[in-house]
Amino acid sequence: LVTPCLAAAAGAVGAMLTAWTLLKKPDLSMMLNGVLAGLVGITAGADQMAMGSSIAIGFIAGVLVVLSVIVIDRIKIDDPVGAISVHLVCGIWGTLAVGLFGGLAGGKQVVSQLIGIGAIGAFTFVFAFVLFLVVKAVMGLRVSPEEEREGLDIGEHGNEAYPYFQPMAER
């Protein structure tokens, strides 16, 4: 319980400071992603970490999530909630952190963690590629251009997730 809580709090602080430095404001959505990043970063080794290590892992995850969101936005990958940054980038960081901070920390453990990252990455890529090919062949992966413009919240759920709010005088 202690290490995830410390990592989450440190992730929020790391993300806030990084966002404030780079974006000139303490962005709330970045801070919330920092909390998630800290949790993702500590998960692989939560049982092995000391309190100080969990704070460092969470803080670094918070920094990484902000940097990753900025890079992913710049290369125009569609990830409006930062899921790739939180789960992929900080998941890789957390797996490496086991080799750097864990009970068996050292060169051999880092190599083992890198092998694990590569193996899971290769499996996930191949499995997802095949799965998406099957889904594309059976039912397609894209919605119509009209539904894309209108928004999937309306087409799929019959509601607006972000309605356009108007002042009371204009209603």
Residue 8: what pLDDT? Answer: 98
Confidence label for 105 from pLDDT (cuts 50, 70 and 90) = confident
pLDDT tens digits for range 4-50: 999 999 999 999 999 999 999 999 999 999 999 999 999 999 999 99
Confidence label for 152 from pLDDT (cuts 50, 70 and 90) = confident
Rounded to an integer, what distance in angstroms lies between the CA atom of residue 5 and that of residue 26? 21
For residue 3, give every residue at least 6 positions away whose Cβ sits within 8 Å of its Cβ, in sequence order, or none.
42, 46, 47, 49, 51, 54
CB neighbour burial string for 4-19, b if at least 16 within 10 angstroms, e if fewer: bebbbbbbbbbbbbbb
Nearest to 97 by CA among 163, 49, 160, 34: 49
Q: Which residue has the higher pLDDT, 149 or 52?
A: 52
For a pLDDT cut of 90, what percent of the chain falls above it?
75
Both tokens of 116, joined, read 């694990």
**Cβ burial, residue 50 (10 Å; 0-12/13-18/19+):** middle
pTM of the model: 0.83
Rounded to an integer, what distance in angstroms lies between the CA atom of residue 21 and that of residue 39? 23
Both tokens of 68, joined, read 């990753």
**Cβ burial, residue 41 (10 Å; 0-12/13-18/19+):** buried
